[in-house]
Structure 1
Amino acid sequence: MSFTSEAAGALQISYTVSFPEAQAHYADIEMDIKGIAQSKLNLKMPVWTPGSYLVREFAKNVESFSAQSGGKAVDVTKVRKNVWQLNTQGVSSVKVKYRFYAFEISVRTAFIDVTHAFLSTSGMFFYPEGGLNLPSTIKIIPYKNWNKVSTSLEMVGNDPFTVKSPNYDILYDSPIEVGTQDIFDFKVGNTNYEVCMYGGGNYDKERLKKDMAKVIEEEVKIFGENPNKRYVFIVHNYVKGGGGLEHLSSTVLGATRDGYTKESTYEGFLSLVAHEHFHLWNVKRLRPIALGPFDYDNENYTTNLWIAEGFTAYYDNLTVRRTNLFPVEHYLTALAADFNTIDNTPGTKVQPVSQSSFDAWIKSYRPDENTINTGISYYNKGAVVGMMLDLEIINATQGKQSLDDVMRYMYNEYYKVKKRGYTDAEFKAAFEKFAGKKLDDFYAKYINGTDDMDYNKYLAYAGYRAFNEYEGHSIADLGIRMLPPANPAGRIKVAGVLRGTAAWVDGINVNDELVSINGVAATDPKTLMKDKNVGDKLDIVVIRDGRELTIPVTLKQTTQKKYSIQSRTDLTPQQQVVRKKWLNFN
């Protein structure tokens, strides 16, 4: 009998996870499968995790894979990089055993040591081919003094170490933290929130409860409802940490252990909370049509990550601003930083943001020394596109509507009513519906094209102006990204060369080690261009592949920009209306 999804529907599956060698970063996993009716059973490991658009080949961490039934070995053949085939002729149940190595610290990969286990489920648990709709249970046997489990999965009975999932899409969207983590909770509306803190830190629980609740309340207002009854924040605190990964009813955050008492770091943490929590609507439920049902074997391509991720990046700082947890000036500084990132990335003139979304699988998560010249981040550019569309709608409707209304409309129309993802054309039509105008030109310039972004056209609606502090000044620039001295000779190493700059034109290379400029030792990145002028001709001595070379370079005007956002003093009534609507400006 060949394998079919119909046959898979009769399977009963449970897992047991133990940590006999946690110090060596291993989990031992047993997968019990009952109700087998086919002669061959394919077990598959996902190659990527939703929310992180890179094929990570999780099967590389699997070892000692074996299967038995009734105490007898079952033949196993690995038939693909992530597929193990079991010969189940005459067998109705089988116990699969394998070891999993977990030693990569990130929000999207599993990590195990003696202090805790972070189980990134999409990269650890096999599923039967054709059986993504199957339920399963996971029993955890904790290591030594571990006494807590944090996950959005439901407990089985009153046993916190046994959880269940209704299907594999839910299982793969529900990471599990096991250890001695600090846990506190709070409630927002009818939703219970659990915060799990691993790694210690100087956080103030009561302050976090209050401030996180404010952020959450502000986001619920946008969509009109919270679809979760329970939500879990898993926070990993390190000496220096950051980043996050969204899930359907939880998120994993990286944070700086002792950064909670520093204003800028704390604000950054709240923005991260806002970003990942916003995803429970935008991308986990309101999603591009390509992102679900997931193909766990291959890339899932979409041109709309500028909405899924970029708009989320727009709303993170904006949400915190709306709560008044940081002042308008801080928000505008963060917005200007996005402008800088875009305009100081030569790749913004090469790659449209829609193509950046599509190419995430081969570019965004695989940056190299030339990435800055060939691509643009759909996070930063998508966030600014969100700002521009938001201000366009607010201005066109005299403050009666905003991008919030587009997001709420799309959530209701596609997630709740049509129960499917959206196409690019459908989201464009929604923008046009609320803006009251066609956006073909906007899309041609900023979404599918590489035109310079007209920040000031849109900021002017709210009485602001982006000012480039370098404009009108003669600033000589070599055009390189540098690594500080890390070799015995104390030489600066070139990490990147920006397109169109002096270094690009005259042939400075990545990995060149700077020796001297016009006979003066080049040891301090901060003073490299001191007393240099546009048009100066320099002899730059470098070490390249162990050989000393002298490269003549003619300095050019900097291509870099440094924006600040300034307010008009004579706001019109219309600008006052737009500003108040946009930034919750009192």
Structure 2
Amino acid sequence: MEISFEVSFSEPNAHYVDVKMNISGISSDSVDVKMPVWAPGSYLVREFAKNVEQFSVKGAGQSSVSFRKVNKNTWRVATAGAKAIEVFYKVYAFEISVRTSFVDASHAFLSPTGVFMYVDGMLQLPSVVTVHPHHAWTKVSTGLEPVKGKAFTYYASDFDVLFDSPIEVGNQDIFEFTAAGVKHEVAMYGGGNYDKAKLSADMAKIVESQMSIFQHMPNKRYVFIVHNFQSGGGGLEHLNSTVLGASRDAYNTDKGYKGFLGLVAHEYFHLWNVKRLRPAALGPFDYSTENYTTDLWISEGFTAYYDNLILRRTNVYSPEAYLNVLSSDIETVSNQPGAGVQPVAESSFDAWIKYYRPNENSKNTGISYYNKGAVLGMILDLEIINATKGAKGLDDVLKAMYDEYFLKQNRGFTSEEFKRMAEKVGGISLDNFYSKYVHKAAPIDFQVHLDHAGLVLVDEYAGLNTPSLGLTASSKDGKLSVVSVTRAGTAWTDGISVNDEIIAINGNRINDQAGIDRLIANKKVGDRVDVLLSRDGLVRTLSVTLKKEIKGKFRIEAAKDASTQQFAVRKKWLNL
């Protein structure tokens, strides 16, 4: 069987992609054509088939071929002996994100799992994609391999490659740089105040720094597709490329520029960690249902740890600036009540139903495998550096895993295999680490681990006895409504609920969150206050007892009496 696609844009202003799928070499009486339900790297069933319309099939001589839809994302075509068919359909593409397709008069971004269908059971087949740009467009950017002698035509060795190769079509601004012996294309859509020379130099440093960890470059070419919006963000990794969201006017600000470089570092690190060094569940993929793993804290969390660490190694961050960033990571985990409820392994497994569907209670019941995984990466790194007296670190664990399970065995790893390799490299037992921090939600004693590097975690709020109502509220249409309450806080304990309208506190009219904060600041822990609120149109007064604000504000500073060994660990870790 042979498969090819033609993609065109007859109505870009109406946000449509026109797809023609050619299937030849058919030997069965029917063919099931399926649309994926999710995009690898974004662990949520997104039901891409919902955007498909005007599905039709033609055979020889353009005769109509019968078909019927047999489930949400499968069309069964009755070939009736035909050896070749043409499948036609349109995809509505009008969702701006790095994981969904978007088409308008200015450009088309094709996220392949939401555009290209596949023949059931035939994911291993190669395919050819020909793009017919709208007449106003002149460029195509993709990591797919170009077919020589054919304009805008590309080859994918199988559907895993096709589905992992986004396509940008339009008039994007393209520049290139070479790093680690590989040509890198940067395709900028949406304009922006970026400096090409500066970006090229800094992005090359990131590539070289990460290459020094794994010492193997799996690609001969790499493409950055960057969407610049008024306010943009996010990224999604791919085998041969990445898609980044950015704010077009933020490149000339310190925060905006470093934020963009951090995003580059994160998604490029996935070239190794996730796309090749991966949990067993993450490939080959089943595109019709969820693919479960308990190890996203390694795949995403460690990548989130390294994105900032790489900026330190390339001197984008000074040592002091990096420790400030790390303090914020610690603060995020420590201040989230759900960190003490949901183990990070469970957070990974439940990504499909929780991470992309947060609600008003999420912070009380869960923790992000990004945030928790990042601080666990830091802890593991420090533990190994300390145990080996600076000879080894987390770099060495990842490289050993990459060499063994990608280069040698070409398969995903199990949780136990990762643990064993980390123990082997570090010469330490990780039973306690996994028991407390991975499979349970025990509080993390960060000071124990930072002490290896002669660093002190300071809580600036320690010793304070600040009262808190334990809620956040937002003003809309003249009403101040509760949008979240904090587990075990005042509101949680005494019955103030999300969606309650706060009218007054102790007889004082309250109009915004700042008004709540000002009034509570004049009270003491243990004081009782009367909250006048409206719930479902019924006005009532709740008398509540103020509890202590439980959040901390952290900074990391050097110990004044650090030993030679502690300084050696710090030197290795912070690339001093």
TM-score scaled by structure 2?
A: 0.98
* Distance in 2 between residues matched to 1:565 and 1:296, nearest whole Å: 44
SS in 2 for 1:360: helix
Match of 1:164 in 2: 155
SS in 1 for 2:263: helix
* Distance in 2 between residues matched to 1:298 and 1:325, nearest whole Å: 40
Match of 1:6 in 2: none
Match of 1:528 in 2: 516
SS in 1 for 2:377: helix
* Distance in 1 between residues matched to 2:539 and 2:326, nearest whole Å: 43
| Higher mean C-alpha deviation, range 305-314 or range 341-350 | 341-350
Match of 1:20 in 2: 10
Match of 2:554 in 1: 563
Q: 2:287 aligns with which of 285, 296, 317?
A: 296
2:494 corresponds to 1:503: no
User: 5+ unaligned residues in a row in structure 1: which ranges?
Assistant: 1-10
Match of 1:228 in 2: 219
2:500 corresponds to 1:512: yes
Match of 1:431 in 2: 422
| 8 A Cα contact 1:149 1:160, kept in partner | no
CA RMSD of aligned residues (A): 1.0
Match of 1:93 in 2: 84
Matches within 5 A, 1:422-501: 422-483=413-474, 485-487=475-477, 489=478, 491-501=479-489
| Higher mean C-alpha deviation, range 51-60 or range 544-553 | 544-553
2:565 corresponds to 1:577: no
| 8 A Cα contact 2:184 2:223, kept in partner | yes
* Distance in 2 between residues matched to 1:292 and 1:95, nearest whole Å: 29
Q: Which amino acid in the other structure matches residue 219 of structure 2? A: N
| 8 A Cα contact 2:12 2:105, kept in partner | yes
Match of 1:365 in 2: 356
Q: Which amino acid in the other structure matches residue 508 of structure 1? A: I
Q: Which amino acid in the other structure matches residue 530 of structure 2? A: D
* Distance in 2 between residues matched to 1:76 and 1:330, nearest whole Å: 61
* Distance in 2 between residues matched to 1:346 and 1:196, nearest whole Å: 41
SS in 2 for 1:395: helix
* Distance in 1 between residues matched to 2:473 and 2:398, nearest whole Å: 41
Q: 1:57 aligns with which of 39, 47, 65?
A: 47
| 8 A Cα contact 1:346 1:372, kept in partner | yes
2:16 corresponds to 1:29: no
2:228 corresponds to 1:240: no
| 8 A Cα contact 1:148 1:160, kept in partner | no
| 8 A Cα contact 2:45 2:290, kept in partner | yes
Q: 2:307 aligns with which of 304, 307, 316?
A: 316
| 8 A Cα contact 1:54 1:360, kept in partner | yes
2:399 corresponds to 1:408: yes
| 8 A Cα contact 1:102 1:110, kept in partner | yes
* Distance in 2 between residues matched to 1:577 and 1:476, nearest whole Å: 42
| 8 A Cα contact 2:30 2:77, kept in partner | yes
* Distance in 2 between residues matched to 1:180 and 1:493, nearest whole Å: 45
* Distance in 1 between residues matched to 2:187 and 2:370, nearest whole Å: 27
| 8 A Cα contact 2:473 2:512, kept in partner | no
SS in 1 for 2:517: coil
Structure 1 residue 160 displacement after superposition? 4.4
Structure 1 residue 117 displacement after superposition? 0.4
| 8 A Cα contact 1:182 1:198, kept in partner | yes
Q: Which amino acid in the other structure matches residue 522 of structure 1? A: I
Q: Deviations for 1:159-186, whole angstroms, at most 9, x for unmatched residues?
A: 4421121110000000000001000000
Match of 2:29 in 1: 39
Structure 1 residue 430 displacement after superposition? 1.0
> 4+ residue runs of structure 1 moved beyond 3 angstroms?
none
* Distance in 1 between residues matched to 2:25 and 2:250, nearest whole Å: 52
* Distance in 1 between residues matched to 2:543 and 2:312, nearest whole Å: 49
* Distance in 1 between residues matched to 2:332 and 2:407, nearest whole Å: 36
* Distance in 2 between residues matched to 1:415 and 1:431, nearest whole Å: 16
2:529 corresponds to 1:538: yes
Q: Which amino acid in the other structure matches residue 480 of structure 2? A: I
Matches within 5 A, 1:106-185: 106-185=97-176
| 8 A Cα contact 2:180 2:207, kept in partner | no
| 8 A Cα contact 1:219 1:319, kept in partner | yes
2:372 corresponds to 1:384: no
Q: Deviations for 1:538-566, whole angstroms, at most 9, x for unmatched residues?
A: 11122222332222111100121111111
Q: Which amino acid in the other structure matches residue 516 of structure 2? A: L
| 8 A Cα contact 2:146 2:155, kept in partner | yes
Q: Which amino acid in the other structure matches residue 536 of structure 1? A: D
Q: Which amino acid in the other structure matches residue 56 of structure 1? A: R
Q: Deviations for 1:73-115, whole angstroms, at most 9, x for unmatched residues?
A: 1111101111000001211111111110011100000000001
Q: 1:208 aligns with which of 192, 199, 209?
A: 199
Q: Deviations for 1:233-268, whole angstroms, at most 9, x for unmatched residues?
A: 001111111110000010000111111111011111
SS in 2 for 1:529: helix
| 8 A Cα contact 1:135 1:165, kept in partner | yes
| Higher mean C-alpha deviation, range 564-573 or range 155-164 | 155-164
SS in 1 for 2:7: strand
* Distance in 2 between residues matched to 1:362 and 1:197, nearest whole Å: 33
| 8 A Cα contact 1:353 1:381, kept in partner | yes
User: 5+ unaligned residues in a row in structure 2: which ranges?
Assistant: none
| 8 A Cα contact 1:239 1:258, kept in partner | yes
| Higher mean C-alpha deviation, range 77-86 or range 543-552 | 543-552
Identity of aligned residues (%): 55
Q: Deviations for 1:21-57, whole angstroms, at most 9, x for unmatched residues?
A: 1111111111111111110100011100100000000
Match of 2:542 in 1: 551
| 8 A Cα contact 1:305 1:357, kept in partner | yes
* Distance in 1 between residues matched to 2:348 and 2:556, nearest whole Å: 28
| Higher mean C-alpha deviation, range 84-93 or range 334-343 | 334-343
Match of 1:8 in 2: none
SS in 1 for 2:529: strand
| Higher mean C-alpha deviation, range 451-460 or range 563-572 | 563-572
Match of 1:4 in 2: none
| Higher mean C-alpha deviation, range 195-204 or range 13-22 | 13-22
| 8 A Cα contact 2:32 2:76, kept in partner | yes
* Distance in 2 between residues matched to 1:80 and 1:401, nearest whole Å: 52
